[in-house]
């Protein structure tokens, strides 16, 4: 059984119920300092690694996360596969508040982020195949767990990764919709590509916490988002528990 790492996003800075056995302090890596110490423990009876993407407490904005250090530290701690949990906005009509999505594709609209490990004094240029950015087997495990938990979910979707930390304009969301995007978040890239470069199977469990800009009457309510995150991430923990319990 591959050791699974969980990267928790907004609303999931702690994995409640984790029986912690060790905190792996990675004060530095060849790529700088990770967002937080990695917690090693048992969840649903299985060994798991947990990293809070935005730090503990939640303090690092999406554009300042050291994605390279995070993925590198997880691999060095023994991670062999990664599930990322993301809070997102819903663009498509099917992506209502509280809905889960396991995206199968993404489009990167972020800028200025360090995108790769393959730079600097290289012996040769290296490219990765990123046709399918998410691991099919890991996605299937998430879909099976969501179904078993009785969740409202979509088995596919296109994740749009924007720069943040501001939310998008209504015109920007219309552009993303024309591009074929179903959900929008700020942390999906370069995380997914870096995992691919390290050879780590990677999948995303996305929780829709608000209608994207212009998709509901009035401005986006951050207070309402917090309520949805609180309840939705409780369900997400159960889904993750089912994934871990079902692994052999």
CATH number of the domain bearing residue 100: 3.40.50.1580
Query: Which segments are annotated as binding site for phosphate?
Result: 10, 53-54, 187
Strand positions, DSSP E, the chain: 4-8, 19-24, 38-43, 46-52, 81-90, 100-101, 105-108, 153-154, 158-161, 183-185, 202-211
Number of domains in the chain: 1
Instruction: Identify whether the C-beta of residue 15 lies closer than 8 Å to the C-beta of residue 237.
Output: yes
pLDDT in tens, 121-144: 777 778 899 999 999 999 999 999
Residue ranges making up the domain that contains 116: 4-245
Query: Which segments are annotated as binding site for substrate?
Result: 186, 210-212
Q: What is the dihedral of CA 119, 121, 126, 131, to 10 degrees?
A: 0
> What is the pLDDT, as a whole number, of residue 88?
97
Measured CA distances, 177 to 32, 157, 238 (Å): 36, 12, 31
Which residues, including other chains, have CB under 8 Å from residue 160's CB and lie 6 or more apart? 91, 106, 107, 109, 176, 179, 181, 183, 184, 185
> What is the pLDDT, as a whole number, of residue 135?
98
Q: Dig out the tokens for 77 from the structure.
A: 């701690």
Query: Which segments are annotated as binding site?
Result: 10, 53-54, 186-187, 210-212
> What is the pLDDT, as a whole number, of residue 192?
98
> What is the pLDDT, as a whole number, of residue 248?
61
CA 150 to chain centre: 21
pLDDT in tens, 199-220: 999 999 999 999 999 999 888 8
Which residues, including other chains, have CB under 8 Å from residue 16's CB and lie 6 or more apart? 237
Q: What is the pLDDT along the chain (248 residues), one digit of tens a residue?
A: 689 999 987 767 667 677 767 777 666 799 999 999 999 988 888 889 999 999 888 889 999 999 999 999 999 999 999 999 999 999 999 999 999 999 999 999 999 999 999 887 777 778 899 999 999 999 999 999 999 999 999 999 999 999 999 999 999 999 999 999 999 999 999 999 999 999 999 999 999 999 999 999 888 888 888 899 889 989 999 999 999 988 76
Instruction: Look up the pTM and report it.
Output: 0.93
Residue with the two structure tokens 């390279």: 68
């Amino acid at each position: 059984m591959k050791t699974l790492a969980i990267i928790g996003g907004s609303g999931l800075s702690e994995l409640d119920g984790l029986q912690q056995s060790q905190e792996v302090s990675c004060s530095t890596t060849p790529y700088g300092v990770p967002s937080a110490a990695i917690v090693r423990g048992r969840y649903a009876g299985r060994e798991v690694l947990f990293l809070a993407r935005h730090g503990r407490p939640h303090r690092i904005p999406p554009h300042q996360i050291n994605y390279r250090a995070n993925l590198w530290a997880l691999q060095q701690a023994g991670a062999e596969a990664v599930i990322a949990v993301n809070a997102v906005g819903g663009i498509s009509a099917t992506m209502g508040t509280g809905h889960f999505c396991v995206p199968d594709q993404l489009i990167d609209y972020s800028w200025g982020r360090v995108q790769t490990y393959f730079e600097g004094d290289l012996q040769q240029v290296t490219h990765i195949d990123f046709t399918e950015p998410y691991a099919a087997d890991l996605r299937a495990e998430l879909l099976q767990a969501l179904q078993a938990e009785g969740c409202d979910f979509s088995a596919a979707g296109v994740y749009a990764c924007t720069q943040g930390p501001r939310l998008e304009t209504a015109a920007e969301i219309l552009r993303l919709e024309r591009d074929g995007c179903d959900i929008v978040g700020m942390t999906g890239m370069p995380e997914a590509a870096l995992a691919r470069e390290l050879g780590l199977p990677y999948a995303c469990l996305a929780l829709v916490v608000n209608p994207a800009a212009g998709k509901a009457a009035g401005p986006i309510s951050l207070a309402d988002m917090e309520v949805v995150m609180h309840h939705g991430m409780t369900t997400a923990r159960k889904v993750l528990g089912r994934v871990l319990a079902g692994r052999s």
